[in-house]
Chains A and B, each alone.
Chain A
Amino acid sequence: MQIYLPIAEMPVSVLVLIGLGAAVGFVSGLFGIGGGFLMTPILIVMGIPPAVAVATQTAPIVASSATSVLAAFRRNALDLRLGVVLVLGGFVGTSLGVWFFAAMRRAGQLDLVITVAYVTLFTVVGGLMLAESVRSTWARHRGRPRPPRLGGDHAAYMAWPLRMRFPRSRLYASVIPILGLALFVGFVGAVLGIGGGFILVPALLYLMRVPTGVVVGTSQFQILCTSFVALVLHAVQNQAVDIVLAVILIVGGVFGAQFGARAGRNLRSEYFRFLLAILVLAVGLRFAVELMLRPEEPFSIVVQETR
């Protein structure tokens, strides 16, 4: 079944897109990430103009993260206080990222910056996560499970000034590293056109030692706020949000996210970290391969304007 997209100006297969939305929604619900870093490249491969793909994929993220936030809220698995601090830092980072994006585009090296950023970020984050999860699985198998949480285990930066209490996360920490993290995530997200959940989740887990149960809900809250703002900004600035495409992706995404979230609850913590690490690492390696291999077609066309 084909339907014509009014903004992208091309027909697409509805069933394929619903399936795609469901698959990405599942991953998103499972790990508490937005899934934009999976959705955007796939849409572009399907022939949807990159501007429309980047702008429109924020809509299913808003929908699926809204579902996750509501579910987390009911289960009391959301640290609203931590979420608000993250959102505030994130907005500053997003503005900086948008400015940097424009500057690199003027310099003509945006493509390179994006690809290199994908490769380094994804392989480093993915690699670190994989190493950690393998280590903890190994320790458990040897019968010496590492204590899940240590009171005195906090890093030094948690004791910086401006300390704030986050009772739900059992955290009493300085807001400076938290704001810094949110700023970085917002910055990277704006430059790469992604929500940044894949950085936020491991950072909250490992750097902030936020309990796993709270991480997903809180990260989804931050993603909901950022992607809503991004959606409206894209609609106003680039007029690249395709409402028909958005509806199709939402329908697939919300269903997928439900099953993903349910599967996530039944997943053991180590497996959860292991799978997320593999996913992030795989995306990073894919970009690395693309960067290193001799391209089959060295030429590409970028349309600036249609009259």
Chain B
Amino acid sequence: MRVRLAVILGFLAVILGFLAISPASAESLVVSLSFNRLAVTSTYTGTSVAVFGAIERDGQAGARSGGYDVVVTIRGPRQALTVREKAAMGPVWINRAQQKFAEVPSFLAVLSSRPLSEIADEATRRRLRLGLKAIVAAPDMTLAAPAPDDPFREALLRLRRRERLFTESEAGVRFLSPSVFRSTAPLPATAPVGAYDVEVLLLAGGVPLARHEARFDLVKSGVEQSLATFAREWSLAYGLAVGALALISGWLASVIFRRD
């Protein structure tokens, strides 16, 4: 009886103690992006987005012994895609196996204040989707049964990294003061237009403390926007116009280069 009471009291103490350092209430994040909407014009050759953040602490929060860690994840418009693998069939190499992915970010940048392996252990990284590997290994990426070292997921990661569409920078977040940080992610010109989600996660000692989400849009503007709209909504007229343009250029060339 006594033993049981002690166990219950011990439990209560642990729960109360846990509540006292409850992660949600102690710290919060204030985040601002260098832009919320960027117009893509004819001279666009890529850009970079800066993320500024401040950590706000209420009075109860004790000092974190190990300091804060920040991980910024930027996800571009989602794509449905297929990864195919070539295999030898007799003398020729052809696409054999394939795996479909339903929702893969077209652009993915993970920036952190320290190497991710020092920020959190592997289980936490996988649970919080921290880092390219953890994001690509997430079970909802594909309908295929999750397998360790799935070659298709690895290929997706490898190919996209090579195109600089997936990047990971372990020194991408810099603390300007103990509670103010800044991070800059390059956006290559091949990153598609659309909505980008920015997720900022604050951690200390491998435990998530606060999360903030923001977004920015990459939009075509001016002539590019008008042309794209025209091509989509008046496709027959657009096609005929390009055809007429080609015919007129051909005729002009024959007039200019006429020898007689």
Residues of A within 8 A of B (CB): 2-4, 6-7, 9-11, 47, 59-60, 62-67, 70-71, 74, 111-112, 115, 228, 231-236, 239, 241, 243-244, 246-247, 250-251, 254-255, 257-258, 291-295, 297-307
Q: Which residues of B contact A294 (CB under 8 A)?
A: 88, 93
Q: Given A2-B43, A70-B251, A305-B79, do A235 and B238 touch, yes or no (CB 8 Å)?
A: yes
Residue B189 lies at the interface, judged by CB distance under 8 Å to chain A = yes
Q: Chain B nearest CB: distance from A47 CB in Å? A: 7
Those of B162-201 within 8 Å (CB) of chain A: 189-190, 192-194
Q: List 5 A-B contacts (CB under 8 A).
A: A63-B246, A66-B250, A74-B260, A231-B243, A306-B77
State whether B80 touches A10 (Cβ < 8 A): no
Among candidates A6, A292, A304, residue contacting B220 with C-beta atoms closer than 8 Å: A6
A231 and B88 CA atoms in complex are apart in Å by: 36
Query: What residue of chain B has the Cβ atom nearest to residue A254's Cβ?
Result: B253
Selected interface stretch from B22-30, B59-67, B135-143, B227-235: B227-235
Tell whether A4 pairs with B156 under 8 Å between CB atoms, given A298-B85, A300-B84, A302-B82.
Answer: no
Interface centre among B78, B238, B253 (most CB of A within 10 A): B253
Smallest CB gap from A71: residue in B: B254
**B77, B225, B242: the one within 8 Å of A307 (CB):** B77
Tell which of A111, A251, A306 touches B94, judged by Cβ atoms closer than 8 Å: A111
Task: Give the docked Cα–Cα distance between A289 and B93 (Å).
Answer: 10
Which residue of chain B is the closest to A234 with respect to CB atoms?
B239
Evaluate contact between B249 and A232: CB separation under 8 angstroms.
no
From B156, B235, B246, give the contact of A66 (CB < 8 A).
B246
Are B228 and A7 in touch, CB under 8 angstroms? yes
A304 contacts across to B, CB distance below 8 A: 79-82
B95 near A111 with CB under 8 A, answer: yes
Q: Is B41 an interface residue (CB 8 A)?
A: yes
Is B250 in contact with A63, judged by CB distance below 8 angstroms?
A: yes
Q: How far is the CB of A21 from chain B (nearest CB, A)?
A: 11
3 smallest A-B Cβ distances: which pairs?
A: A235-B239, A66-B250, A299-B155
A62 and B190 form a contact (CB under 8 A): no
A258 touches B253 (CB 8 A): yes
B125, chain A: closest CB distance, angstroms: 24
Tell me the bound Cα distance from A3 to B238 in angstroms: 21
Q: Are A62 and B246 in contact (CB under 8 A)?
A: yes
**CB-nearest residue of chain B to A59:** B246
Could you say which residues of chain A place their CB within 8 Å of the CB of B257?
67, 258
Residues of B within 8 A of A295 (CB): 86, 93
Residues of A within 8 A of B245 (CB): 59, 243, 246-247, 250
Q: A112-B94, A291-B92 are in contact. Are A302 and B44 (CB under 8 A)?
A: no
Selected from A59, A232, A243, A293, the residue in CB contact (under 8 A) with B227 is: A243
**A235 interface neighbour in B42, B44, B242, Cβ under 8 Å:** B242
A85 to B238, CA, bound (A): 29
CB-CB under 8 A for A232 and B240, given A292-B91, A306-B194? yes
CB neighbours (8 Å) of A258 from chain B are: 253, 257
Q: In the complex, how many angstroms separate the beta carbon of A45 from the nearest chain B beta carbon?
A: 14
Closest to A119 in B: B92
Chain B 202-230, CB-CB to A under 8 Å as 1, else 0, gives: 00000000000000000010011101100
- Beyond A2-B43, A250-B249, list 18 extra A-B contacts (CB 8 Å): A4-B189, A9-B193, A10-B189, A66-B249, A74-B258, A111-B95, A232-B243, A246-B245, A254-B249, A254-B252, A293-B93, A299-B159, A300-B83, A303-B80, A304-B80, A307-B77, A307-B78, A307-B80
Within 8 Å of chain A (Cβ to Cβ): is B87?
A: yes
* B79 cross-chain contacts in A, Cβ below 8 A: 303-307
Q: What are the residues of chain B within 8 A of A255 when measuring CB–CB?
A: 253
* A9: chain B residues within 8 A (beta carbon): 192-193, 220
Chain B residues lying within 8 Å of A254, measured Cβ to Cβ, are 249-250, 252-253
Closest chain-A Cβ to B79's Cβ sits at a distance in Å of: 5
